[in-house]
A and B are shown apart, each in its own frame.
Chain A
Amino acid sequence: MEEVLVKKGQTVVSDKKGARLRVPSLGSALAVAASDPSARVSGVAVCIIPKKMDKASEIPDVMEQLRKLFKDMITKGAQPQNMRLFLAGAAGFTEEPDDMALGKRLYKTVMKTLKKNGLKVTADHVGGPLNRSVYLDVGGEGLTVTMLNEREVQL
């Protein structure tokens, strides 16, 4: 099986049969995974910057990443009505001030953008003090979430 490592700030879409997209150690980053099983296309955007603060930075923000994710999904043959969407990550500290609640802010920004575009989330596993890793088999039905000291979760 070919495994593609997806880093924070990256967006990867694939139609390669048998490939697996893997995102390790999300921290407060939020993985937005999309899959169209009938078109056998899957992709993931690992969002870490809610809104760009430094124009010179090469790390894209949520808006740029979601735009790329859906554009690339459709280019590779995915149909919006068949797309399943999953969210995972956005971990937070046990107690954190709103100013520093990166995970919560990412989740809010992503949900707002999806809602604005009429897209619904099929399932999610977000928040709490859990550092998650995820993987997605290209063309598969769902997203797998793994964590230290917790059971693996299939979304």
Chain B
Amino acid sequence: MIASPAPNFTLEAVFESIAELPVFPKVVHKALETLDDPNKKIADVSAIVKFDQGLVANILKLTNSAMFGLRQQVTDLDTALALLGNQKIREILITGAALPYLTKRLAGYEMSPEDLWIHSMGCAVVSEVISKRTGYPDSGTLFTAALLHDIGKIVLDLYVGPRLEEVLVLSKQRDGNFFEAEWMVLGTDHALAGSAILKNWDFPPDICRAVRRHHDPDLYIQDKLSALLALSNIIAVQLGFGVGADGFRYRIEPGLLESAGCSRDDYYWCLENSLQKFYQAEDMLNTIMK
């Protein structure tokens, strides 16, 4: 019997895996650019995405869910896009395109497909509540960063899996910090891997930066988007939205609320309202997984 080759744990191998990931659908970026162009109409967006049948199916599924909130059932793309505002179209396009990536099983992080999906959407739901409460003007960017913040796990999963025990033991020795333990064992972490994936997928630099920083207490307090993303993720974990092996094994920077422009009362208000909004969106979370 021939022994299977030992997994290649080099940093080069991790980044090769990132480069080998299927690209984020170009039609989505093109559709988003069209949305931003004042000279273009919704019909132009529809013309761009309508040939991607998988994406259209996901857009319709999301449009008909309580989260994105249309009162009537919609069965064609043109009507769906005509009834939604620009902001919702943007969120649905990104969510629809990210769906295949966010419904994977991450054995290394002990997350089922439901866990990853619920955590990603849960974090996006929390980010919307926080944006509204704090008056953050670029809620669409925060929504995208929140939805995709753990995308690095889909690549790192292959490497964490065989060494999860080692990462967990080390994390317990290092005051319970999973982020540092990931670095020590793998030479990288899922936030950095995620940022590299999003860069490869042509996402804007501020989103890549916020994803890179979302577990690093020294860095996430340095800009508002990163602070708001870190806070959204923390609340999603506290509310138990798809918590994996790393879940609570992180340090929270004491100045986070201040950097996010959030008072203690705002934080508790967001917790309460995020849970309520999550329950309202639950139909979508469940039907997507069926």
User: Is A7 at the interface (CB under 8 A from chain B)?
Assistant: yes
Number of chain A residues close to chain B: CB under 8 A: 36
A1 within 8 A of partner (CB): no
A44 within 8 A of B: no
Pick the residue among B243, B245, B249, B257 that contacts A27 (CB under 8 A): B243
* C-alpha spacing A94/B247, complex, angstroms: 10
Contact of A81 with B by CB under 8 A: no
Contacts of B273 in A (CB 8 A): 54, 57
B276 partner residues in chain A, CB cutoff 8 A: 57-59
Q: Judging by beta carbons under 8 Å apart, are A9 and B275 in contact?
A: yes
Q: Is the CB of A97 within 8 A of B252?
A: yes
Query: 1/0 per residue A21-49: CB within 8 Å of B?
Result: 00011111100000000000000000011
Q: Is the interface of A mostly helix, strand, loop or mixed?
A: loop
- A78 at the A/B interface (Cβ < 8 Å)? no
| Chain B residues whose C-beta falls within 8 Å of the C-beta of A91 in the assembled complex | 238, 247-248
Q: Say if the beta carbon of B241 comes within 8 Å of chain A.
A: yes
Nearest-neighbour CB distance to chain A for B216, whole angstroms, equals: 14
Would A99 and B251 count as touching, CB distance under 8 A? no
Give the distance in Å from the alpha carbon of A26 to the alpha carbon of B243 in the complex: 9
B185 in the interface (beta carbon within 8 A): no
A97 to B110, CA, bound (A): 27
- On chain A, the residues within 8 Å of B268 by CB distance are 49-51, 53
**Does any Cβ of A come within 8 Å of B177's Cβ?**
yes
- Please, which residues of chain B bring their CB within 8 A of the CB of A142? none
**B245-285 to A contact mask, C-beta < 8 Å, 1/0:** 10111111010110000001101110111011001000000
Q: Is the CB of A102 within 8 A of B240?
A: no
Instruction: From known contacts A58-B276, A99-B257, infer whether A129 and B245 are also in contact, taking CB-CB under 8 Å.
Output: no
Instruction: Assess whether A94 is in contact with B257, with CB atoms less than 8 Å apart.
Output: no
Number of B residues with CB within 8 Å of any CB on chain A: 35
**Alpha-carbon distance A149/B244, docked complex (angstroms):** 11
Which residues on B sit within 8 Å (CB–CB) of A130? Answer: 248
Interfacial residues of chain A within 56-72, with CB under 8 A of chain B in the complex: 57-59
**Closest chain B CB from A90 CB (angstroms):** 10
Q: How far, in angstroms, from A75 to B249 measured CA to CA in the complex?
A: 42
Closest-CB distance, A25 to chain B (whole angstroms):
4
Closest A-chain residue to B168, C-beta based?
Answer: A149
Contact between A129 and B248, CB atoms less than 8 A apart: yes
A2 is an interface residue with CB less than 8 A from chain B = no
A57 touches B176 (CB 8 A): no
Asked whether, in the complex, the Cβ of B249 is within 8 Å of the Cβ of A94, the reply is yes
| Distance in Å: Cβ of B122 to nearest Cβ of chain A | 10
Contact B239 A54 (CB under 8 A): no
Instruction: Please report the C-alpha to C-alpha distance between residue A72 and residue B231 in the assembled complex, in whole angstroms.
Output: 36
Q: What distance in Å separates the Cβ of A154 from its nearest Cβ neighbour in chain B?
A: 22
Q: In the docked arrangement, what's the CA distance between A148 and B271, Å? A: 24
Given A48-B271, A52-B272, A102-B271, are A27 and B251 also a contact pair (CB < 8 Å)?
no
Q: How far is the CB of A52 from chain B (nearest CB, A)?
A: 7
Q: Which residues of A contact B245 (CB under 8 A)?
A: 148-149
B175 touches A95 (CB 8 A): yes
A99 to B248, CA, bound (A): 16
CB <8 Å contact, A102 and B238: yes
Instruction: Check A95/B242 contact, CB under 8 A, given A129-B176, A148-B110.
Output: no
Check if B256 sits within 8 Å of A8, measured CB to CB: no
Question: How many angstroms from the CA of A94 to the CA of B254 in the assembled complex?
Answer: 13
19 pairs across A/B with beta carbons < 8 Å?
A: A9-B275, A25-B240, A25-B241, A27-B239, A27-B243, A29-B240, A48-B275, A91-B247, A92-B248, A94-B175, A97-B256, A99-B257, A100-B252, A100-B256, A100-B267, A103-B238, A128-B248, A148-B244, A149-B110
